[in-house]
């Protein structure tokens, strides 16, 4: 399934999503990288050692969730746009997702954008609460979403105001 569609199954996701106890403790990384390819910048990017050192460049990332602070630095290191940070404690009703975003236009802080699932389908609208522009690297968008959507939203679509008539 993953090989054909590029979309992970529930079984795939179960292997990379932290347990409920860790999720309840605050922001934490989720790395949705499932195919062994020669790539390792994520492991080098985490200065806290939360992404365990690779023994081989084809290794899949392994996370020590207890060491992860959810800082999000690793997000922009990943050429596969496979790294996210989820904060299930953001507010009573909302979670915060930090996600990679390479497309233009960039959204603005406070803007409502379309929240997309892993297949690019629209799940609804969500508010951008931070835009972190990183020179020569992938930008990071922080998005406020209902808690029920936290494990589904993995991208955004921004309305291009220049094309509006």
74 forms part of the interface with ligand SF4 (CB under 6 A): yes
Query: How many of the chain's residues bind ligand SF4 (CB under 6 A)?
Result: 27
Indicate whether 83 belongs to the interface with ligand SF4 (CB under 6 A): yes
Whether 161 and 106 have beta carbons less than 8 Å apart is answered as no
Which among 8-16, 81-89, 107-115, 132-140 is the span making contact with ligand SF4, rule CB under 6 A?
Answer: 81-89
Query: CB of 92: closest distance to ligand SF4 in angstroms?
Result: 24
Which residues in the 41-70 window bind ligand SF4 by CB under 6 A? Answer: 41-42, 45-46, 48, 50-51, 61, 68-70
Residue 100 binding ligand SF4, by CB under 6 A: no
Rounded to the nearest whole angstrom, what is the least distance from the CB of residue 15 to ligand SF4 in the complex? 13
State how beta strands 139-146 and 122-132 pair: antiparallel
Shortest distance (Å) from residue 53 CB to ligand SF4:
12
State the nearest-atom distance from the C-beta of 152 to ligand SF4, in Å: 19
């Amino acid at each position: 399934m993953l090989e054909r569609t590029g979309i992970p199954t529930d079984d795939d996701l179960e292997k990379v999503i932290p347990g409920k106890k860790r999720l309840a403790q605050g922001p934490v990384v989720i790395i949705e990288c499932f195919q062994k390819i020669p790539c390792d910048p994520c492991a080098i990017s985490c200065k806290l050692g939360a992404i365990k050192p690779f023994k081989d460049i084809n290794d899949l990332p392994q996370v020590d969730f207890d060491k992860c602070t959810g800082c999000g630095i690793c997000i922009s290191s990943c050429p596969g746009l496979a790294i996210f940070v989820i904060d299930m404690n953001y507010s009573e009703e909302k979670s915060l997702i930090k996600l990679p975003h390479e497309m233009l236009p960039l959204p603005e802080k406070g803007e409502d954008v379309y929240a997309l699932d892993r297949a690019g389908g629209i799940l609804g609208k969500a508010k951008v609460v931070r835009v972190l522009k990183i020179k020569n690297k992938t930008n990071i968008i922080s998005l406020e979403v209902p808690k029920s959507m936290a494990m589904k939203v993995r991208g955004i679509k921004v309305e291009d105001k220049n094309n509006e008539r």
